[in-house]
Amino acid sequence: MTAVPLDTFRAELERLRADAEAALTVAADAAAVEAARIEFLGAKSGRLKAIQKSLSGLAGADKPAGGKQFNDTKNAITACFEAAQARVGAGASGPAASAIDVTLPAERFRLGHLHPITKTIRRVQEIMGRLGFESVDGPEVEDQWHNFEALAIPAEHPARDPLDNFYLAVARDADPLLLRSQTSTVQIRVMENREPPLRIVSLGRVYRPDTADATHYPMFHQVEGLLVEPGTTMAHLKSVLRMFASSFLGGDVKVRFRPSFFPFTEPSVEVDMEWGGRWVEMGGAGMVDPAVLEAVGYDPDVVTGFAFGLGVERIAARRYGVDDIRDFYRNDVRFLRQF
């Protein structure tokens, strides 16, 4: 009978040790540790026992070295087993003297909460950001040019009626100031200062003299998107809004356009999205009116663009089940802490 080569014997020991350590390290409970003990250290058919038998097959000169390595391996696996046993608490029975009532109240720190309107705006920004739209803000006190004229709302337009806006009582003869009635003002400011291509979302507070009720508040929030690039079509508008809807509402959401009228877009549409099995009006949209492009110094024969606006309160109310939008402005922390 040929002697077992020492290298082979050593390699077997190494593998055994690696296997045992791996098994004992991941063993999650007492049963798993015990199963590993039987596999590796079992007195009758453990793998260590099996290797011990081949120790006698080593050449005489190799036996001292082989024996030493066998003992090292056995000690290492035993130590590993004991560590695992301690870790899973096997062997102990009954509660430890230092056991705690884990249902006792925790030492808590208080978490703050973002307002649900902010959360909704952030979500829109995040989705539009992935589509390449950059967030911008601007002043809330505006002049006639940015709030009306550049948006193709002429002096005789009903939207400029003093009763329908919050005008400032400051002397500024021909150009009274007002609290902006839409965030399109920011789009005008950006277009005046930058050249296309342009993708922005403007967002923030806007103001219209509505009597406060469950669905109206004289101060509210808008998010408006604007894209100006050569060759832009309504198909781009619809595709972007569908991607937005799918991301915001989840799933393969349908978008539908209904014709509408806004002074600063042509064609103009209302945007419905399918939400909870029915069509929900999400906002207005359209192709940027050539008059608006001209007002900011763009050439409508060279660039075209689309714009859309979403009412944040309406979306947030629906998203969070808030049936009275005045609740958003009551600042009751019992409300705020739910978001």
Partner 1 sequence: MIISTNWLADYVQVPGTVDDLVERLLMSGLNHESTTAVGDDTAVEIEVTSNRPDCLGHIGVAREAAVLYGRPLHVPDPRPLEGAGEAARSIAVEIRAGEICPCYTARVIRGVKVGPSPKWLVDRLATVGVASVNNVVDVTNYVMLESGQPLHAFDLAKIRGGRIVVRRAGAGEPFVAINHKTYTLSERMCVIADAERPVALAGVMGGADTEIAADTVDVLLESAQFAPLPVRAAARGLVLASASSYRFERGPDPAMVDWASRRAASLILELAGGSLERGVVADGTLASAPAEIRLAADRVGEVLGVDVADARQRQILTALGFVEIRDGGPHEHRWRVPTWRRDCWREIDLVEEIARIEGYDRVPENVAIAARPIELSARERTVRRAAEVLVAAGLCEALTRSVVTEAMAATPSPWGEAVPLVISPPLVRGADRLRRSLLPSLLEARAGNAAVGVDDADLFEIAHVYLAHRGGAAREPVEEPLVAGLVVGGDFTRAKGLCEALLEGLGIAGGEGRLGWRPLEIAPFARGRAAEVLLERPGRDPDRVAVVGEVAGGLGSTGSVSAAEVRLDRLTFAATIERRLVRPSDFPAVQRDLNLVVDEGVPWGEVEAAIRAAAGSVVEDCRLVQVWRDADRLGAGRKSFVVALSFRSSSGTLSGDEAGEIVAGVVAECGRRVNAALRS
Q: How far is the CB of 175 from partner 1 (least distance, A)?
A: 10
Burial status of residue 119 (CB atoms within 10 A of its CB: 0-12, 13-18, 19 or more): middle
Q: How far is the CB of 183 from partner 1 (least distance, A)?
A: 13
Q: How far is the CB of 152 from partner 1 (least distance, A)?
A: 11
- Please say which residue, 62 or 149, places its beta carbon nearer to partner 1: 149
3-class SS of residue 6: helix
Backbone phi, then psi, for 153, in 5-degree steps?
A: -110, 95
Burial status of residue 300 (CB atoms within 10 A of its CB: 0-12, 13-18, 19 or more): middle
Q: How far is the CB of 268 from partner 1 (least distance, A)?
A: 7
Backbone phi, then psi, for 33, in 5-degree steps?
A: -65, -40
Q: How far is the CB of 178 from partner 1 (least distance, A)?
A: 8
- Please say which residue, 80 or 312, places its beta carbon nearer to partner 1: 312
Q: How far apart are CA 84 and CA 144, in angstroms?
A: 76
Angle at alpha carbon of residue 315, lines to 313 and 318, rounded to 5°: 105
Q: How far apart are CA 331 and CA 85, in angstroms?
A: 54
Q: How far is the CB of 104 from partner 1 (least distance, A)?
A: 22
- Please say which residue, 69 or 125, places its beta carbon nearer to partner 1: 125
CB atoms < 10 A from the CB of 136, how many?
18
- Please say which residue, 94 or 231, places its beta carbon nearer to partner 1: 231
* Helix or strand run (H / E) with residue 269: strand 265-275
* Helix or strand run (H / E) with residue 266: strand 265-275
- Please say which residue, 222 or 304, places its beta carbon nearer to partner 1: 304
- Please say which residue, 8 or 338, places its beta carbon nearer to partner 1: 338
Task: Read off the tokens for 165.
Answer: 């806006």
Q: How far is the CB of 133 from partner 1 (least distance, A)?
A: 7
Q: How far apart are CA 280 and CA 274, in angstroms?
A: 6
- Please say which residue, 27 or 128, places its beta carbon nearer to partner 1: 128
